[in-house]
Amino acid sequence: MNTVVIAVLVMLVLSLARMNVVLALLLGALAGGLSSDLGLIGSVTAFSHGIGNGASIALSYAMLGAFAMGISQSGIPGYLAQKIINIVQRSQKRRDLVRLSILLAIVLMAVASQNLIPVHIAFIPILIPPLLGLFNNIQLDRRLIACCLTFGLTATYMLLPIGFGNIFLIEILTKNLNDNGLNIAGSLMPQAMMIPVSGMLLGLLVAVFWTYRKPRRYREESLSSADNTEIVMPRAKLIGVGLAILLTLIAQISSGSMIIGALVGCLTLTLSGVIVWSESNDVFIQGMKMMAYAGFIMIAAAGFSEVLRETHAVSEMVTSIGPLLAENKAVGIMLMLLIGLLVTMGIGSSFSTVPVIATLYVPLGMEMGLSALAIAALVGTAGALGDAGSPASESTIGPTAGLNMDSQHDHIRDSVIPTFIHFNIPLVLFGWIAVMVL
């Protein structure tokens, strides 16, 4: 059995058995390394080297957490939560409309977190917990909320070349396609990814109107920060937060660094008086702690990824399907997509998967006579597959961080499995269609 298959299966089985994701990633990496020529020492060395590669991601998450906590301390999340709850209370007779409006708002917030207010998943533990009481009141299934959040987080960067989408589509996907001999413009990436993303949209609609349409009861917990006291937002704070968001966006786009963007945002919140200087240290430390676990998972995922690279098992898998590519293009493309799914499920990041598979898929696609758009769709879809539905992905870690504040939302059963079913399955099918027709 291939090393990638062994490593990913061990990680997934242990995660499903409710082992801590960080430990599952470590044991999965060791299992994969031991099944190859690396051995124990080589596996540990590769994993340790990969951890260093994940340090910048962890620091980015810590800084984004600090920025998000700064915004939280301004009172805006509680203010927005109260407004939403007041609107719902006035519309109790139109439950279906309220339900759809809340879900649409959650999707839009997730979309905005990738570009307009570039805090990525850091907004979820800030904004979602104050709304848990509301979700319980209208018996909204949290698995559906997880699907809405994951859709907004992943479909956005796969389609819109702004913010995190610019990093994925232009700086990673387009660059790796061109570096491996395919001459294609970055402006064509949204066109290449449009059909695969439409599959994700179909999956979301199935979740909303079929799978999770029925009410689901939860224990009532006093987590909601919105009560009968009217929250008043001073204009100076609104201006300060708005300026911090704007400067963060500008800094991140101009520098290409989430760390610099978050740093500028934190400084702006402090200098504008939104966060009192004497309290800023405690506020930002709280934000860093909030995102620390997500950072540790991403560090472990980077180590897992490095072990897979050192075994060269991905190239072996692709080479093994070479004869099928020559005999049956449709079957070969499907297998290439499934390999991408397997690799990303283990690594937990589509951003890290694209460079791994592009070196193999671009030459194969050109040899098969695929068009430039078809190859872009193949690499982009294969790289993004598994991001939704991986235990180690930020697109599942984030929703769990917000929805499990009262210990009623399981990471694997309520975030990982629902998002895998509703997004990865249609993404495979629609990605295959995109490669065949483009």
CA nearest neighbour of 397 among 409, 385, 384, 408: 409
Nearest C-alpha neighbor of 140 from the set 403, 438, 330: 403
Per mean pLDDT, which of 189-193, 274-278, 405-409 is the most reliable?
189-193
> Across the chain, which distance is largest between two alpha carbons, in Å?
69
Phi, psi torsion values for 87, nearest 5 degrees = -65, -45
Sequential DSSP letters for 203-228: HHHHIIIIIT-S-------TT----S
Identity of residue 151: F
Q: At 229, is the pLDDT very low, low, confident or very high (cuts 50, 70, 90)?
A: low
pLDDT band, residue 164 (cuts 50/70/90): confident
222: which DSSP letter?
T
Give the model's pLDDT for residue 255.
77
- Interval 304-326 mean pLDDT: 73
Q: Report residue 166 as tokens.
A: 């610019």
Contact 423, 151 (CB under 8 A): yes
Q: How far is CA 407 from CA 72, 218, 220, 297, 403, in A?
A: 22, 10, 12, 19, 8
More confident site: 9 or 149: 149
pLDDT tens per residue across span 361-412: 888 888 888 899 999 999 999 888 878 888 878 889 889 988 988 889 998 8
Note the pTM of the prediction, 2 decimals. 0.80
